[in-house]
Structure formats: C-alpha cells, structure tokens
Amino acid sequence: MTAVPDLPGLPRDDGGPVFAAPWQAQAFAMTVQLHERGLFDWKDWARALADTIRAAPAQPGEDAGEAYWRQWLQTLEGIVAAKGASSPGELQRYQRAWDHAADRTPHGQPIALRPEDFAP
C-alpha cells in the first residue's frame, strides 16, 4: 500500500489511521485504492478535502470525528464525479440502494445489495 501522507485532521494513533465505524475504514480504503490507481494524487486529495472542510464545517451536535469522516466521504464522492469515474446520478442511485438494503438488514448483519435495491 502507498504511504498515506499526514493529512491534517486524519484521526491516527501509533499504528496509523483509526476509525469509529466500518464505513469510515471502507471510505478510507476506497480513497487509497483510487489514489493507487492514479485517479488523483495526495496533493489533489488534500486540497479537495480542505475545500470540503471549509465549505461544510461540523454541524451542531456532530463531534469532530463524525464531521471529519462526513467531509471525507463528501470529498470522495466529489472527486470521483469530477474525475469522471462515476456521475452524481450514479452515486445517488447507489446511495439509495444502500439505504434500502440497510433498512431490510437486521442490526449486526452484513449489508448486501440485491437487484431490487436499485428499483426506483
């Protein structure tokens, strides 16, 4: 894996980045994979993340970690669309499908997408 630069605000401990929820680790892993595949460099990522943090600061009742990973995901979605790896419409389609799948999945069980999750 490519070394991850010291991004401002990235929650870390001595072993590296830390996550409060599995989706945060998944968003981080997707970001690293897209970087490794050449979709963007870390300088572009850091600039985009900083822009998102300025534009979408922490919301009332949201702790710093929650805000950071929300901003991270928003940046990931934006850069994927901007680079043409996906479209905003496709991202929304998958978000709705995941929401539908999560609604029918018992707590603690893995969420799995089914074709019917993509139905309008």
Report CA torsion sign: 94, 96, 99, 104. Answer: negative
Q: Using pLDDT thresholds of 50, 70 and 90, give the confidence band for residue 84.
A: very high
User: Is 10 among the domain residues?
Assistant: no
Helices (H) and strands (E) in the chain, counts: 4, 2
Q: Residue 55 belongs to what domain range? A: 29-86
Pair (80, 98) in one structural domain: no
The answer, as to whether pTM is greater than 0.85, is no
The answer to whether residues 20 and 65 touch, using CB atoms and an 8 Å cutoff, is yes
User: Is 15 among the domain residues?
Assistant: no
Q: Using pLDDT thresholds of 50, 70 and 90, give the confidence band for residue 13.
A: confident
Q: Using pLDDT thresholds of 50, 70 and 90, give the confidence band for residue 95.
A: confident
Pair (94, 54) in one structural domain: no
Q: Average model confidence (pLDDT) for the chain?
A: 89
User: Is 107 among the domain residues?
Assistant: yes
Pair (80, 103) in one structural domain: no
Number of domains in the chain: 2
Pair (62, 109) in one structural domain: no
Pair (82, 34) in one structural domain: yes
